[in-house]
Amino acid sequence: MSTRLADLHVAIVGLGLMGASLGYDLRGHCRRVTGIVRRPEAVAEAISAGCVDDATTDAASAVSEADLVVLATPVLTILRQIAEYGPMLKPGAILLDMGSTKVEICRAMETLPEHVQVIGGHPMCGKEVAGLAAAEAGLYRDCTFVLSPLPRTSELTQAIALELVEFIGARSLALDPARHDRLAATISHLPYMAAIAQVMHVDKMASEFDPLVWDMAASGFRDSTRVAASDVHMLMDILITNRAEVLSAIEHLQGHLQSLYELLGDVEAEPEDLRDVLDTMAQRRREWERVRRLSED
């Protein structure tokens, strides 16, 4: 197989937001980009949208011909597709996933035949809306794209995956699967659960005490609960496959909320104690934003 991304036939399984956006970026820069879809009518939709060179519902034929197969479907679907499609890949072909959790996916990849090259992946980006219509070129620009090579992953495979990440404008970050899932639970999955809890609280307030609370909701509520509107099917897969780490993250958040509760509730405490915590965390947030912007320049 060629050592250059431009020479590869890439097959993308799933042309929703993530898969179709990847197709937009790769089409015209790889030898061929094939989309694999479930619905016959989606074949014409994908070709008309221009995110792939061709599309098919015949997954077995497409993955067996490709040099690089990308699984861009929900996590539990990826686990099924690894077992179903993985053995069909030709010798030396690469299987890369884009799932939001890595331990179970990489464990499943490890069971594939030796002739298949495998590497885990997770682009840290997305939208609250899903589907082909939401896809766009440049979605991955400036995002962090985690790569999780397995012990069996060759240097060539890692080089091609890195080339793909850099070509779509993302920043690569190498993490082992367990570390990825622990960090993703903290920085991605916990914010979703916290946003859901906020909406639950407001909904209860509206239904049991005062419905005007929804009329008062403004930018603060909108920004802090944005991810609560995310695709539930996708998030359920994530939560189920990263259950222990998400539960641990929720437990830690509960501890921090309890500390703030006690600081605010202790009428004999010095107001400066609470102010110090708020100031310190505000500075942490501003510093993160400053560093993030510098990395994008």
Whether 253 is in a domain gets the answer yes
pLDDT for the residue 188: 96
Number of domains the chain is built from: 2
Q: Are residues 184 and 213 in the same domain?
A: yes
Both tokens of 199, joined, read 């909406």
Q: Are residues 128 and 71 in the same domain?
A: yes
Domain boundary among 174, 202, 218: 174
What phi and psi values does residue 163 have, to the nearest 5 degrees? -60, -40
Whether 143 is in a domain gets the answer yes
Structural domain span for residue 87: 5-174
Both tokens of 114, joined, read 């030796």
Strand order in the sheet with 68-71: 54-56, 32-36, 9-13, 68-71, 94-97, 117-123, 144-149, 171-174
Minimal CA–CA distance to 160: which of 147, 173, 141?
147
pLDDT for the residue 255: 98
Q: Are residues 39 and 134 in the same domain?
A: yes
- 184, with CB counted inside 10 A (0-12, 13-18, 19+), is buried
What confidence tier does 70 reach under pLDDT thresholds 50, 70, 90?
very high
Q: Are residues 57 and 142 in the same domain?
A: yes
Q: Are residues 15 and 158 in the same domain?
A: yes
Q: Are residues 153 and 207 in the same domain?
A: no
What phi and psi values does residue 96 have, to the nearest 5 degrees? -120, 135
pLDDT for the residue 2: 63
| 3-class DSSP state of 63 | helix
pTM of the model: 0.93
Q: Are residues 20 and 113 in the same domain?
A: yes
pLDDT for the residue 294: 84
Classify each residue of 68-93 as buried b or exposed e, where b means 16 or more C-beta atoms within 10 Å of its C-beta.
bbbbbbbbbbbbebbeebbebbeeeb
Whether 29 is in a domain gets the answer yes
Q: Yes or no: say if 224 and 195 are a contact pair by the CB < 8 Å rule.
A: yes
Q: Are residues 41 and 102 in the same domain?
A: yes
Of 127-136, 197-206, 258-267, 270-279, give the lowest mean pLDDT range.
127-136
pLDDT for the residue 267: 78
Q: Are residues 19 and 134 in the same domain?
A: yes
Q: Are residues 63 and 126 in the same domain?
A: yes
- Which CATH number is 228's domain given? 1.10.3660.10
**Model confidence pLDDT, tens digit, residues 77-111:** 999 999 999 999 999 999 999 999 999 999 999 99
Q: What is the mean pLDDT of the chain?
A: 95
Q: Are residues 38 and 150 in the same domain?
A: yes
